[in-house]
Every structure is written in structure tokens, then in C-alpha cells.
Amino acid sequence: MDAVFTISDMDLGQVFTNRNIARFMASLFTLDANATMLDPCFGTGVFLEALDSLGFKNVTGYEIDSTLCDEVLSKFKKCKLYNEDFLSSQLNHFDGIIMNPPYIRQEKIDGLSPLGVTKNKLRNNIIFSELPQNANLYMYFILKAITILREGGELIVIFPNTWLKARNGVKFRELIGAECSILQQINITGKVFEKNALVDVLILKIKKEKICAEPIIQNLFFDGQKLVKKKLIHEMDLGFNLPFFKVATAKRGLTTGCNAIFINPALTCNEPSCLTPIITSPKSIKGFSTKDVKLDYLLTLNQDVPNSILEYLNSWEEKIINTQSPKTLYNKILDKKAWYRLRLIQNEGIIFSYFIRNEIRFIYNNSSYQVRDNFYIVKPKISGLLLFALLNNYYTFYQLECYGKRYGAGLLKIQRYDLERINFPDISCFDDNAIYQLENLSMQLIATNDLEIVNSITQLISQYSLIGYKDILEQYSALKKERLEDKNYD
């Protein structure tokens, strides 16, 4: 029997905009009240409400989610609202477009196939022919919006800022610039979306006109009620010139595709040979090593699957087929692949949780345990103990406080490219005694978890920095204090 799909079964990439953010975005328009306006994915209607409050009279909206559409139709009877897919709709041109497009990664686009949206269908549209193959869905929305924008028209859009540092972002910016100019780039941190969605975002104001001027860049902080100017961090020159990639590599930990299936599986049999120790949470680690870690267990199956586990796998396979989710496992089943086999990864080295709530710490993975994808695995290119010291000191912690993204409530998120921005002192200038002392301090830190040793490492490294020990400690402590108190920061 064919599976029955509902909207709730699909990931529509819905991250709803805060009402105050929507009003701020609408205020960026310089159009008159008679301008034709469009919201291509109106969701709960916050942009419709914002446009109405500014007196715009000719407003059109599209929304693929029928549940949301039904709720909004009754509230905005003066608007022309359609329960349709914006990307495939035939539209006239508009003077202004405002939107928060869906946040769906390229590998999950085909999950919208029950609604008629597939990656192949999009790629066959000439509008999107020049987009990179790995373009996320919001890029398709923005390009479609540009094509239906009148000459001189304005587009206000809020979406993730990760494309700024991604390879596909270079081509994406070129495609925007082919017909348009970016007038404003507003980087926003804080509680930008409902339900505290953890994404780094920016707002672009785009005009369909070629203007020879650089965009005005602003950095704002949103506390849930109001936007305030965010002062930029002025990074201190530490005098370090040894880049991260010279001494280490970083990669994400193991991704299962569905943790409920593979981590601490609810097996009715005892098959310890099929279970591999794995670290799934930084909370399970005490201090700076994994020697006393609280382990979870990962279902790992080789060529021969025990009969006792087949029933468990068959039950999950049926669920995956019926729901077509998770998509990665569903596709493996369709391809007749052994979807339940995971490729373990090399974990020798140092691990680091990229969500920081209090102390920053790099952890020595004594037993080379598998780790989940909420960790980075840092593999040394130099002595592991020397790298451990270069990572666990306040010069490195300061850089991460500067580069990471704050989300309020003390949370700091470190992307891999943030980690790879770290610089270290030139170790070729270290004498043998300095290297011996740093490696010895690393061994002490691993054995005792004593934070005072981090101070000792920092003091030793301060001999090779333009910034002294007291100054780096003061600057790092100030940044950390502001983060934990959820304040704006310099």
C-alpha cells in the first residue's frame, strides 16, 4: 500500500520570523503604498502584518503549507493569498518582495517531492541553471524573486549567512550581482527567530538596478524585543603567524542518519559484539580527557547480521519506507544498500564540542572512542601533546570567543571555519625546554583536569606573543563574562 503523506511528515525548512524583525525588514522599503508587494512564503503572516501596518495596499502571498495557509487566509482578506509553490508559480512582476525563504539543505530538497518540488525539476528550470549543484533551497527562492522583480524594485530577505564563506556562495553572489545591487547587508545575532532556531543570519536589501557602490554593512543584536547596534570586536594582534592547518586538521564526528536507531538501540537481545562505545555529549566528559567518560553505545554491524537483530532492523526499515524519512537511509534502501551499516571514522587525536556554554576545552581522546557529529576531531600534524597545549590556553580561547557566534543564554557556537581561523605562535622559535615544558603541562592537564595548568600553559606561551599574560586573561575573561550574561559585545 502506498504511504500517505501529510505536511507534518515533511521538513519544509520553516523557521518563523519574529514579528519585530519582520517590521524592521518591512521598514527598509522605500516604496509608496500603491506598490505591488509579494511575500513568496508567508508562513504565519508576520510579513503580511508588517506590510499592512505600513499601509501597503497591493499585497500578494504564496505558501506551500496548506495548514498555515488556512489559518492566515481569514486574517488577511485584503491580500491575494495562494496555497501554491512559489518556485513553480507563474507570476507577474512586483515592485517589492519580502521573505524568509525555507532553510532546506540541497540534499533534503527531494523530501518535498510529495508537494511537487524536486531537485531535478528545479534544475530543469532555466532560471536556476547556473546555480551550483549544491545550492540550498533559499538560493532558488532568492533567484526566482529577482527574476520577477521590476527594474528598480526592492527585495528584502533574511536567510542564513553561511553562504558568505561557502564555495557555492561565490557563484550565488555573482548571480545576484548580474542584475542587481546589494544596498544593505545587516548581520544579526540574538533571538532572531521563534523557538530560538540556531542559525546565523543576515538581512539583504537588494535593488534591481546596477549601482556602483559598496553595500552598507550593519551589525545588530536582537534581544527578542528590539534591535540595537552591535559593536564589532576589535581583535588584538597576538603576534601569532602559525595557521591552524599547519599543525592540525579538523573534521566532524560520526553522523548516523538517525540516532534513535543506532545510539543505545532498544534491542531485545544481548549482542555486545554489535555495540561500539561512543561519546555523544560533552556533558559526559569530565575535564580534559576521556578517561572517565560516560559512554553510550553505537550499533555497528559487519557483513553477518545476527538473526537476533534482524527483527529490530526490519521494524525500522518498515518505518523508514512508510515515512520516507530519514531521507538518507530511505535512499539507501531504494538503492538496495545495507542502510544499517555505518562507516566508523578515525578518532585518534583531540575532540572539541562546537557548542560552548561555559568553559572552552579541548579534550584528549585517550582511548580513541568514536564520537558523534556534535564534536570536531582535531588530528595533530605535530606532537599531539604540544598541540594539546597550543589549544588549551587563553590565547586560543580568546580567539574562539572572537570568532564564534553568540546565541544568547551564554551559548557560543564554533563552526569548523571558525576553528580553522586560529593562529598559534611559531613553534619553530620554541627551544627544546619550552616544548618539553608544554608537553609536560599537557600530560598534567590530562591526568588532573586542573584548570590552573591552563594558566601555566598560557604564561609560557605569553613569551611568544605581543599581548602579555595579564592582558590576554583580562580580555578573554571580559568576553566570556559578556557572553554568559547575554550582553552585546565589542
Mean pLDDT of 238-261: 94
Whole-number Å distance between alpha carbons of 424 and 363: 18
- CA 197 from centre of chain: 10
For the stretch 241-273, what's the b/e string if a residue is b when 16 or more beta carbons lie within 10 angstroms of its beta carbon? ebebeebbebeebbebbbeebbbebebeeeeee
Whole-number Å distance between alpha carbons of 440 and 446: 10
By the 8 A CB rule, do 79 and 49 touch? no
Tell me, what's the pLDDT at 195? Answer: 53
Whole-number Å distance between alpha carbons of 271 and 230: 55
Tell me, what's the pLDDT at 411? Answer: 85
Q: Residues near 198 by Cβ (< 8 Å), separated by ≥ 6?
A: 407, 411, 413
List residues bridging with 58 in a β-sheet: 36
The phi, psi pair for 474, rounded to 5°, reads -65, -45
- CA 262 from centre of chain: 23
Relative to beta strand 149-160, strand 94-99 is parallel
Quickly state the pLDDT bin for 5 (edges 50, 70, 90): very low
- Classify 479 as helix, strand or coil: helix
Report which of residues 443 and 121 the model is more confident about: 443
Per-residue pLDDT reduced to its tens digit, 31-45: 999 999 999 998 889
Tell me, what's the pLDDT at 13? Answer: 46
Tell me, what's the pLDDT at 94? Answer: 95
Tell me, what's the pLDDT at 43? Answer: 86
- Classify 325 as helix, strand or coil: coil
List residues bridging with 216 in a β-sheet: 184
Cis before 326 (ω within 30): yes
Q: Position 28: which residue type? A: L
Whole-number Å distance between alpha carbons of 29 and 361: 45
Q: Residues near 479 by Cβ (< 8 Å), separated by ≥ 6?
A: 233, 398, 401, 402, 489
Tell me, what's the pLDDT at 2? Answer: 36
Whole-number Å distance between alpha carbons of 38 and 97: 5
Strand residues in 83-148 grouped as ranges (E)? 94-99
In residues, how long is the chain? Answer: 490
Question: Given a cut of 70, is residue 199 above it in pLDDT?
Answer: no
**Angle (nearest 5°) at CA 174 between 169 and 179:** 135
Burial of 102 (0-12, 13-18, 19+ CB in 10 A): buried
By the 8 A CB rule, do 425 and 240 touch? yes
Quickly state the pLDDT bin for 66 (edges 50, 70, 90): confident
Tell me, what's the pLDDT at 7? Answer: 43
Quick one: the chain helix, strand, coil %, rounded to 5?
A: 40, 20, 40
Whole-number Å distance between alpha carbons of 162 and 413: 13
The C-alpha cell of 14 is what? 520553516
List residues bridging with 26 in a β-sheet: none
- CA 460 from centre of chain: 35
Per-residue pLDDT reduced to its tens digit, 341-400: 998 988 889 999 999 988 899 999 988 999 999 999 999 999 999 999 999 999 999 999
What's the whole-model pTM score? 0.64
Name the residue among 146, 165, 163 with its Cα closest to residue 155: 146
Whole-number Å distance between alpha carbons of 404 and 255: 23
By the 8 A CB rule, do 278 and 370 touch? yes
Per-residue pLDDT reduced to its tens digit, 69-111: 777 888 888 899 998 888 888 888 999 999 998 887 767 777 6
Residue 472: CA atoms inside 13 Å, Cβ hemisphere, count?
A: 26
Per-residue pLDDT reduced to its tens digit, 320-356: 999 988 888 999 999 988 999 998 988 889 999 999 9
**Average pLDDT over all residues of the chain:** 87
Question: Given a cut of 50, is residue 231 above it in pLDDT?
Answer: yes
Whole-number Å distance between alpha carbons of 40 and 50: 15
- Classify 470 as helix, strand or coil: helix
